[in-house]
């Protein structure tokens, strides 16, 4: 059964599924960063945790660590596991004509699809933020947008785009990476963002500016 993302969902981001027991108290699910794991498919084979998984296999050209061939094929294998209830695939990947077989298989297996864009350098202009969310929402269950904020104006643009799309009923997940945008990880859910990401241990952050899991849970729960 797919993760629904009908309300805010906090994902514990990790490359080590052995972290799952420590995540249960605060997280609703675990984002398994396959690109950062030594043997991701073997880890999925041995997973017996209680938390549902989001399978993510981020390429190096969008801020991840996967290099070489076989990335989409590894995701296609991952969605066959019952514990994997959602997957993350990049909008650019789909726009380049790759991954459509993965989407079809996810639909067959009732696995939710998060279609994502990660800008690891800056924050696009406000109209482009809207276009990216719209395009991702046309092909995925959740449109995810992570940008890098240079200042609070960038963060404000992201929050405004989040609110505009959420007000129309779109399922979006947004955050601004970097110190200037760090607060958006706690505030964006107030404006309609459906997914937050945090490491169990702040030393194991998978993106710049992440709060640790317990802190983000506390902040979001106090604001919503």
pLDDT of amino acid 207: 72
pLDDT of residue 48: 96
Residues 6+ apart with CB under 8 A from 39: none
Give the Cα separation of 32 and 203 in Å (integer). Answer: 17
pLDDT of residue 1: 53
Residue 165 known to be catalytic:
no
Smallest CA-to-CA distance from 53 within 96, 9, 94, 119 is with 9
Which residues make Cβ contacts (< 8 Å) with residue 90, sequence separation at least 6?
58, 59, 62, 115, 116, 117, 118
pLDDT tens, residue order, the chain (224 aa): 578 999 999 999 999 999 999 999 999 999 999 999 999 999 999 999 999 999 999 999 998 999 888 999 999 999 999 999 999 999 999 999 898 999 999 999 999 999 999 999 999 999 999 999 999 999 999 999 999 999 999 999 999 999 999 999 999 999 999 999 999 999 999 999 999 999 987 777 777 778 999 999 999 999 99
Handedness of CA 197, 199, 203, 205 (dihedral sign): negative
Q: Are 208 and 178 in contact (CB under 8 A)?
A: yes
The span from the CA of 34 to the CA of 133, in Å, is 24
Determine which one of 26, 98, 100, 144 is catalytic. 144
CATH superfamily of 9-223: Aldolase class I (3.20.20.70)
**Active-site hit among 98, 100, 118, 165:** 118
Q: Both tokens of residue 152?
A: 């609070």
Q: Clarify whether 183 is annotated catalytic.
A: no
């Amino acid at each position: 059964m797919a993760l629904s993302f009908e309300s805010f969902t906090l994902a514990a981001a990790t490359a080590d599924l052995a972290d799952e027991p420590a995540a249960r108290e605060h997280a609703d699910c675990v984002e398994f960063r396959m690109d950062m794991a030594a043997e991701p498919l073997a880890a999925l084979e041995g997973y017996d945790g209680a938390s549902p998984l989001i399978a993510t296999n981020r390429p190096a050209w969008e801020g991840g660590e996967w290099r070489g061939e076989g990335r989409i094929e590894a995701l296609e294998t991952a969605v066959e596991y019952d514990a994997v209830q959602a997957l993350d695939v990049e909008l650019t990947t789909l726009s380049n004509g790759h991954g459509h077989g993965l989407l079809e298989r996810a639909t067959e297996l009732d696995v939710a699809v998060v279609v994502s864009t990660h800008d690891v350098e800056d924050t696009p202009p406000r109209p482009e933020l809207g276009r990216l969310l719209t395009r991702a929402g046309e092909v995925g269950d959740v449109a995810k947008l992570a940008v890098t904020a240079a200042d609070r104006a960038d963060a404000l643009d992201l929050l405004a785009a989040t609110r505009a799309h959420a007000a129309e009923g779109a399922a979006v997940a947004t955050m601004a990476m970097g110190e200037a945008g760090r607060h958006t990880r706690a505030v964006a859910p107030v404006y309609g963002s459906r997914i937050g990401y945090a490491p169990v241990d702040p030393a194991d952050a998978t993106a710049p500016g992440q709060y640790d899991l317990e802190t983000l849970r506390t902040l979001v729960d106090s604001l919503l």
